[in-house]
Structures are given as structure tokens and as C-alpha cells.
Chain A
């Protein structure tokens, strides 16, 4: 989909959703459009383009610039076409002498206070003001340029990604409205009145110091060079663009990668992106500099021991070295002594190939993925209850929701573009219930109406979800018709008997959750009585020892209230990484083949065996924590890790490091020397999403194309490396393009049967299941039946609350919960190598003023945080967002050692770690922890090993 630079058409005002059509005449042309459409949009739909400056079709009509004035037969004056709705029989003139003069006069006033530096302006060639001046035929400015003006207004260059040049501002308010309407932050405003009016970030702060979240919506909206990407200022305007999919988070935004040759100038959110509709966040929009960062691994490397410097070698030598080691280890220690980890950051095709390599070439099922440590309980819990391991809705479905229940998720930080959409719906009046130990930013949504916060204690989600369901059932809010028609009767009866037990009553649960019974009852009533109620949840649900139980409890709640199978309802897991859904779909887990087909299913296995040409193991393989345990016992000796950093992201770091250090051969394929690679013997350069073709599947099951915009830095896309390794191991893989891999996936995976690159290119994206039953995909699942049991009926699950064994006591009196922040992504390997560091250059520990005062702690103090697993040291931030007794940190910086203190506790069904509950003590300290000192030493040594390899290589050259 290469296209020469041609920005999408802007119709001036948003589309009307009315089904009633209205016919009118514009410039003698008969036009028929939906009722409620503006005259400006109606004209644009028939390619009659009225000049405009303050209008944009992603913003409500504003009517301030008056450039779009028109004349309407029988009406007085010259109304703005953007704020005038069409009327049947209306006759509109968009061009005549009077309008031309009016527009020129308006434009003349604008230009009299605008620098005439078009030739040296960064927006030259991409400036709506310039274009409009041309359209209206402005030829002179009679007022001169000597009067009062803003030409000397100072630039605000505080933001690392864009510059605000106030001298070029025409005060059209597009940026202010984009910040409010699209992003929902309301950080920008127009300060002053009349001639003194100016755009201001917050209360006259610099952009960086304001509430601005750098989503880029204002930059996108600006019709001049007032708000301009620094990359465009530096490099000039792009000359071609390629549509691809962002590699941050599970929203899966579509972007136009705007290029000059092979240089990426900027990432512009695609208006026709099905997941993001032209919006973006600071990561996707701006934080792509890591792709060309000096730390990129540019050549394959090998070494015999992790205490040796790296040796830079050819691809052939590195792959040969890796294959020989794997074969030798299997020969000595057996078939099951090796395994691998697929990546939720890589494409579907790459993930599919890695698990295929393990199952077919390694000959075992020792494959797992980082979804193990985030959403494996989603896969388990939703499969048990609804029959499919995936969310039920589209993101857009939230716009039909009347009550939104958010459990253990922080969408404005972790899924920002969807967070903005949710905020839009909240501003429209939907009610909000947040179940979270922290007061998340969603609760501070400007113009939020009805909102309830249930600030429960960490580890008590199951008790809370059961209490909500108890109220639904005992107060008679069940949707009996839905349950009778759509749910399996025996399972429902069993669950009903369980849930009406008085131990689940909010009054009896209050002592567990710490939330008042009345508040819980009110929330349950609100949820149950809403016409459409939806549930969104995240890692605050899954990363617990009862994560799978909570997921099933969430499904129970949706089923009991009949909130399933239509717009505005459903169960929606917010996936962490860009391709968590895809990596699960592609058979990364040790117990199931692609498409969630169990390895013990002889029929499914036979189909794979036929296409793959080998006999497959029918027993589940090792999960990640099993691999670590087996490595420490000496039975598991080698691992292939593609695009994951398990040394930083997995819990109980010291245990993980000991396991990795015990391996005879660790093969890491990554774009940087990540923490895991410091334990590796083979380091294979990875390729970023900009350097390869493939697909990602987002949290709404949407399969989106990833398109190569530049050549891989080390010459190979990630899938090609896996192919080479398979071939070196003697298992032939022959693909010339990822589209062929997708064809194989479609052949073997029933839910992907009708997916192909041709169809994706034609439709933009497809949501699985996409097969003969649902040829155009399935935006909303379970509309008629559930893919479970013989009758297709949903299964209620009994959800006993079993408290975690990780409890606070006098030695560890506080509960630590971990999470994410907007500007950094996951382990930070990408975002730490961008200017996003300006917002979060270290992980800090948030704690409540009460806990701080008891310990004499002030913001900025160094704190030792000690758990039963280990100790680390972070700086303090005293915050009322926390409840007393609960502390919080992020894990974006490896030296922070957040996972040094998390424990081996895990979900009972899936082994997903209990990151969200760790009992700790906190005290003021004056030096780093022992682990941090060792980390720093090893970090310097391993980087020296890397630098040594580079200098050796250059010397050889």
C-alpha cells in the first residue's frame, strides 16, 4: 500500500449518523446527504470544496474563522457553512463575488499578523493557511505589518517532540478543541480576550510542565506551523507514506509512516485506522527514535560463556553456532532439554514460526510467551465461560455503553487512545465504576458525570466481583430471559446457589475488600440497571493468584445481567503489548496449537502433522516458570528467546537470573542488548516493526497489517532468522514472504480460515473469527451462540475467593502493587531510548501521606523496599492517589529492580505471576541495594563485552 503523499480528505465537520436523507442544491448541483450534515460537509461530499481554517472533520463545528461563509437563497447574510445544517430544498452558493471579497478580507486580516516567511517555514507545502490564502486569491495586505502584532511572540520549545511557535498562531482553536474533544485532556485553552487571545497550555505554563500528554492531536489539528513536529522542522516535509500498525500496546493504532527515502520523518495517525480513527498517544506518535538508536544490535554475535566478550560474526556462523549447540544439547540431555519463548511484540507470522520451530524442529512443546505473565488468565477464564479466549467487542462499542465498569485497568496510561474514546463516552453521560486500589486518572476525567470508585485492597478482586454478582441475583436484577436462552442450565443453577450465599453479601465482604457495602450495592445496581453495561479489565485482574477466577467472575457478571452479544456491552480485556492477543492465537502456549487447539486433540494434531511433516508431541510442554525451575535442576539446558526480556519482566529477578545463568545455550534475538541478552551465548539482531512485514492482532481481535518502511538494520526480518535456524537444524522452512506464513496459518487455524494479505489490504483490517461462517470477520462475538459445549451455551463458573498467601504482617506491613505509566512502555527498552525520558526517567515509589509520615519520609527520599524475595531502592513520592497501606511503582527501568521484590506467587490456573500483591516494608536508606550494585557492575561489564566486539570488528575491517 505505497502511496505518494496525499493527506486524507478533510470534510470539515463530523459525519451525521442520521438515516434520514435530505436533498438540497449546492452551486446548482443536487446533493443528497444524511439529515444533520453541515452545508460544508455536504458540499465536500460532492467535491465542492469550501475554503476553511477552523474546521476539521474530527472536531465539532466551531464557526470562528468565517472563511467558509456561504450564501443561502432566502436567508439573510453569509452564514458559516460549517455550523449551518442542511435543509431540504436549500439552495446554496459557495462562490460569488461577494463571498470572494469577504473571504479575501478575512484572510487579509489573518495575514496582517502572520510572518511572511513561507519559503523558510517548516509547514511550507503542507500549510492550510497558505493553501487557503491561495484559494481565496489574496494578493495584498492593505494594512501593512507595522501595527500591533504577535510576530515577536516567543516559541515554546519545552516539549521534546514539537514546537509551539505563537507568532504563527491564528487562534482558530483547533488545537484547543482537539485536546478537549479528541484527547479529552483539556490541557489547552485560549487565554485572554480579543487581540490578546492566545493559546495557552494550562495556566500559562510551558507545554512540558502543563497537563499536556503529548498525544499529538493538537499538532495534527494545527492548520499552520504553530504546532509542528521537531522532526519536520529538522528534516522538511515527507515525500511518501506507508500505512502500518503501531508496535506499542494492545490498541493497535494505524499510522501513516511518512518518509523521505528510507528516513522516517513522522508517524501520523491514520484517519481510516479502524482501532484509532486518526488519534494517537505520545508513544505511537513520537517515540520511534529507538529504531535508529546507537544501541541497536547491528550484527550477529556469539560467545562460549557469558563471562566472555562478544565476537561479531556472520549470520551464517551465528546460526550454525546456535544450531550446533541446540543439537548437541538435545543429543546429550534429551529432546525436552531445550525450548523457546515467542514474542508478543513480534508479528503473528513470527510468533507462529517460533512455536512451529519448537514443536516441529525441537520436537517438543516447550514453547511459551510473555502472555504467561500478563493475560494467560484471560485465555483460561474466558475459554471456560464463553468458549473463546478473547474479548467480545470492538473498541468503538464503548460509545454505545451506558455504564462502564473498569476493573484493574488504567486505560489513560496503558491504552491511551482507547482511554480517550472511553472519556468521550463518559463526557456524553455514561456512568463509570472503577474497581482499583488506586485513584486512576479516568476518575479525574473532565466533565465526568456519575462515577463510583471502589478502592478495594489489593488481592480482593474475586470477593468484590462476587459481591457485585450477589447483589445482582439477590436483588432481582438478573436477565432471566437471556440466561434461559443463552446459558447452560446446570452450570447456572450451581453458580446461582453459590453466589446467593450470604458470605458473598457486600456487608460480609466489606471486611475483606475494605469497601463499604452500600457503595458496592449502589455500584451493582447501577451496572445491572443500565441498558448497556460493559466491563473493561487489565492486569490488575489477571496478575493475582486468583486471576483466572476473577476473569470467570467478570464473565459471570456480564452473563447474569445479559450484557453480551451486542453493541455497548461485553467483556473486554485490555491487552498489554501490541500482539499479546496474536501471540496467544498463534499457539505460543505449551498446551495448545494455533487457534487454541489442544495438543492432545488428535484430529487437530493430525492436520498440523500433515502440513508440517512431523509427528507432534501430545503432552503440554514447559511454561516459563517451569523452564526456570528445570534449568536450575539441570534438566533444561537451552532456550531461544525472540523479542522478550524475561530477565527484567518476570518476577523474582534473582531466581530468573540464576536460571538463565545455568543454561548452556541462550539464544536471544532482540533489537538491543536487553537484560536477558546479558546471559546469552548467541545474540541475533532483531528488526523493529518499521523493518518488516507481517500482522499484529490487537485487543479487539483486529488483525492489522504491519508494513516494512525501511530495510532491516542487520539485513534480516525476524521471521527470516527463525527460518534460517530451522533450516540449520535440519527442519526445512521455505517462505519467501510473511503472506505465505499467513496462508499456512489460515489453512490450519479455523478462526483465521478466510484471512489473507489480499483481504487485509482490501478491507484495512479484519477481526477474527474470519471464516466461512463469518466471512467479513466478527466485530462483536457471541451474538447468537457461544463456541462452547454441544448447545453453544455459556457456562457460569463457580468462583470461590481464596485469599493470596502473600499477606502483610508486622515485618512486611505494606502491600506493593506495580503498574505502568503513559510515557514508558513495558520494560522500557524502546521508550527509554527516546525523548519520552523527559517525563519518566526513573521508577519511583508512591506511598500515602499517612505511611510516609509514620516513617518520616518526604518526596524525593531514597527508600529501601524489602519483601520476602529481595530488596531494592527507589525514590519516594508521597501521593494521595494511594490508599494507606498500599504502595506502588513501575518497572520501566531495569536498574530499579521492581521485580527483585515481586514473589513467585502465581495464578492457580495459569502460573501468571502475582505482580499486584507483594508484602513489603519501606524505610529510608542512603545507598543502593546489593542487587542494584551487582546489577550496575554486570551492566558495565556486559556493555564492555559488547563494545569490545564492535572495536574488534572494526579493527578486523
Chain B
């Protein structure tokens, strides 16, 4: 129930994916989640998301994982 800041970020992206699960295919859901994060999340939140992805310990929803990977790839490109 109570998370560290890092856990909160993972919870939040998973929540976004879950609440948009009926938006279409996994790719379409991922598009929606990515658009949301780009539009509303701060630099710091995005940075923590990338760190959580890199840590390999966080449990992501399938669409959330796609988004975390996409954003990390774009950031390092």
C-alpha cells in the first residue's frame, strides 16, 4: 500500500496502463500511456522510471513495460 517514491512511479505507470487497457491492442495502449507520460510527467518522474526499468526489479504491466523501454531508448538516443 505504501511505496517508496520509486515504487510509486512504477505503480503510477501501471495504473495508467490498467485504466486504458480497453483502448485497443497492447501497442495502442502503449501509445496512450506514452502520450500521457510525455504530456504530464516531470523530468524527475521520467528519470526515476528509467532507473526502475534499468534496475530490472520493478514489475511492469505489459504496456507499461513497452513504454518504459520506448522512453529509455529515446532518452539514450
Let me know if A620 and B5 touch, CB within 8 A: no
Let me know if A598 and B22 touch, CB within 8 A: no
Q: When A868-B2, A903-B1 are in contact, do A802 and B19 touch as well, CB less than 8 Å?
A: yes
Asked if A630 CB lies within 8 Å of chain B CBs, one says: yes
Let me know if A908 and B16 touch, CB within 8 A: yes
Residue among B16, B42, B43 making CB contact with A623, cutoff 8 Å: B42
Number of interface residues of B (CB under 8 A): 24
Let me know if A626 and B40 touch, CB within 8 A: no
Let me know if B1 and A868 touch, CB within 8 A: yes
In the complex, A191 Cα to B7 Cα: how many Å?
Answer: 65
Asked if B23 CB lies within 8 Å of chain A CBs, one says: yes
In the complex, chain A residues 764-807 whose Cβ is within 8 Å of any chain B Cβ: 798, 800, 802, 805-806
Residues of B within 8 A of A896 (CB): none
Asked if B3 CB lies within 8 Å of chain A CBs, one says: yes
In the complex, chain A residues 904-949 whose Cβ is within 8 Å of any chain B Cβ: 904-905, 908-911
Let me know if B42 and A908 touch, CB within 8 A: no
In the complex, chain B residues 22-58 whose Cβ is within 8 Å of any chain A Cβ: 22-24, 36, 38-45
Let me know if B22 and A498 touch, CB within 8 A: yes
B74 CB, nearest partner CB in chain A, Å: 14
Let me know if B5 and A621 touch, CB within 8 A: no
Asked if B69 CB lies within 8 Å of chain A CBs, one says: no
Let me know if A620 and B1 touch, CB within 8 A: no
CB < 8 Å A-B pair total: 71
Residues of A within 8 A of B72 (CB): none
B51 CB, nearest partner CB in chain A, Å: 12
In the complex, A548 Cα to B24 Cα: how many Å?
Answer: 19
Asked if A600 CB lies within 8 Å of chain B CBs, one says: yes
A153 CB, nearest partner CB in chain B, Å: 61
Let me know if A619 and B15 touch, CB within 8 A: no
Let me know if B18 and A802 touch, CB within 8 A: yes
B57 CB, nearest partner CB in chain A, Å: 18
In the complex, chain A residues 596-655 whose Cβ is within 8 Å of any chain B Cβ: 598, 600, 619-623, 626, 629-630, 632-633, 635
Residues of A within 8 A of B12 (CB): 908, 911
Chain B interface, >50% SS class: helix
Task: Tell which of B24, B36, B43 has the most Cβ of chain A within 10 Å.
Answer: B43
Let me know if B15 and A908 touch, CB within 8 A: yes
Asked if B21 CB lies within 8 Å of chain A CBs, one says: yes
B41 CB, nearest partner CB in chain A, Å: 6
Asked if A510 CB lies within 8 Å of chain B CBs, one says: no
Residues of B within 8 A of A546 (CB): 19
Let me know if A908 and B43 touch, CB within 8 A: no
Let me know if A620 and B39 touch, CB within 8 A: yes
Let me know if B1 and A802 touch, CB within 8 A: no
In the complex, A629 Cα to B11 Cα: how many Å?
Answer: 14
Let me know if B19 and A800 touch, CB within 8 A: yes
Residue among A620, A632, A798, A805 making CB contact with B42, cutoff 8 Å: A620
Asked if A507 CB lies within 8 Å of chain B CBs, one says: no
Let me know if A800 and B3 touch, CB within 8 A: no
Residues of A within 8 A of B1 (CB): 805-806, 868, 903-905
Q: When A598-B39, A806-B1, A909-B36 are in contact, do A798 and B16 touch as well, CB less than 8 Å?
A: no
In the complex, A598 Cα to B38 Cα: how many Å?
Answer: 11
Q: When A904-B3, A904-B8, A909-B36 are in contact, do A798 and B22 touch as well, CB less than 8 Å?
A: yes
Let me know if A798 and B23 touch, CB within 8 A: yes
Asked if A336 CB lies within 8 Å of chain B CBs, one says: yes
Task: Tell which of A366, A619, A621, A908 has the most Cβ of chain B within 10 Å.
Answer: A908
In the complex, A336 Cα to B8 Cα: how many Å?
Answer: 20
Residues of B within 8 A of A868 (CB): 1-2
Nearest 9 CB-CB pairings of A with B: A908-B15, A629-B5, A800-B22, A908-B19, A798-B22, A868-B1, A802-B18, A802-B19, A622-B42
Known: A632-B5, A868-B2. 14 other contacts (CB 8 A): A548-B19, A549-B19, A591-B40, A598-B39, A620-B42, A626-B44, A630-B5, A630-B44, A800-B19, A868-B1, A904-B1, A904-B3, A909-B19, A909-B36
